[in-house]
Amino acid sequence: MRLRLPPRRRERPVDLRFPRPAPIRHPREHQSAFDPPSDAAPPGSRRELAAWLTDPRHPLTARVWVNRLWQYHFGRGLVEHTGDFGLAGERPTHPELLDWLAAELVESGWSTKHIQRLIVTSATFQQASTVDARCRDIDPENRWLWHWQPRRLEQEVLRDAMLAVSGELDPAVGGASVPLEEREQSLRRSLYLFQQRGVPPEMQRLFDGPAEAGESCARRHTSTTALQSLYLFNDRFVLDRAIRLAETLQQEAGGSVPRQIRLACLRSLGREPNGEELQAAVEFVNRVASEDATTVAAVSAEPADGQPPPHIRLSPLALFCQVLLNLNEFAYLE
């Protein structure tokens, strides 16, 4: 014999003190297909939750979102502890700016593009990374944003940047994820690479990505290790991008080495080389070409069946492109 207890009613939902005390509500009943349509959100529904979160009077939603957008562009939010926003976290360094951006977000119809346009066109974002000794003594951590703080690209962005420079990036939007076994050869954006728990991509593991797929990571910390340099100089993915970039330069710039060098710098660094850089690059390419028609570069691949790892033959121009992809100027936003 089983004792059936009457269904328990929830007393009062969690009250975050906004914007008014929550009324007592009971579990929502199923609606009939013949019920008349209503514009009001049913009590306890996800629609009601969305309306509550996006209410202009809500003290957190807009501020948390613009703080994350600021962190995306500057490497650190106006509230440094992005994942612990509120009374338990640090106070914002620029509270008036945070409030103004939050108000702009709401008034623009929650347009992320509008906020990002404001940020990247601001004088703060367009500052030089030159360090002033007097300002450094006052604010060594640059909390008051007196200069641009160079920051390295995230590993996903760095991978996509190499594909974009070589002209191979697949810009298709949407669709299925790239299977795990095709991940290394895929030309799609990193967003579409399938992630499996316990099997992170090597580049993600080396360049401070999340250790586990699906792991919550409010802010990534940047490290600098010798393994990162070895990866960029020897990995097959990077070498293939250098080879493809060299082929593209030969097609677009013809046989003129100076034109190839200028175009390579424009594509990878966003600027033309100065006179000294151009002369050194041309001398490098010509010297390598005169010493040997091709240059052998080892690839970071595991030996198979006791055989030595495979090798790739890089042309002098491809070797120069490999150098460009290894520059700090390519991997860092300055």
Alpha-carbon distance of 278 to 190, in angstroms, equals 33
For residue 303, what are the contacts with CB-CB under 8 A and spacing of at least 6?
A: 309
**Last residue of a domain, which of 149, 175, 203?**
149
List, for residues 158-209, the tens digit of each pLDDT value.
999 999 999 999 988 888 888 877 877 888 998 888 877 777 778 888 887 7
**Last residue of a domain, which of 149, 172, 204?**
149
Range of the domain at 63: 48-149
Residue-level pLDDT at 334: 80
What are the CA-CA distances from residue 272 to residues 75, 126, 259, 265, 324 (Å)?
27, 20, 10, 6, 13
Residue-level pLDDT at 204: 81
Residue-level pLDDT at 240: 93
What are the CA-CA distances from residue 175 to residues 75, 193, 288 (Å)?
30, 11, 44
| Residue 265 belongs to some domain of the structure | yes
**Residue ranges for the chain with pLDDT beneath 70:** 1-42, 211-215, 292-313
| Residue 249 belongs to some domain of the structure | yes
| Residue 178 belongs to some domain of the structure | no
**Last residue of a domain, which of 149, 183, 208?**
149
For the chain, how many structural domains are there in total? 2
Q: How far does Cα 11 stand from its chain's mean position? A: 43
| Residue 224 belongs to some domain of the structure | no
Q: Provide the token pair at 82.
A: 């992005």
Residues 158 and 144: beta-carbon distance below 8 Å: no
Residue-level pLDDT at 35: 47
What are the CA-CA distances from residue 4 to residues 1, 7, 8 (Å)?
10, 9, 12
- From the list 186, 298, 154, 323, the residue with the least C-alpha distance to 242 is 323
| Residue 41 belongs to some domain of the structure | no
The position carrying tokens 């006179």 is 275
Residue-level pLDDT at 329: 93
Q: Provide the token pair at 44.
A: 């306890």
Radius of gyration for the alpha carbons in the chain, expressed in angstroms and rounded: 27
Which secondary structure element, helix H or strand E, spans residue 48, and what is its range? Answer: helix 46-53
Cis peptide before 19 (omega within 30 of 0): yes
| Residue 188 belongs to some domain of the structure | no
Alpha-carbon distance of 39 to 45, in angstroms, equals 13
What helix, strand, coil percent values describe the chain, rounded to 5? 45, 5, 50
| Residue 117 belongs to some domain of the structure | yes
| Residue 219 belongs to some domain of the structure | no
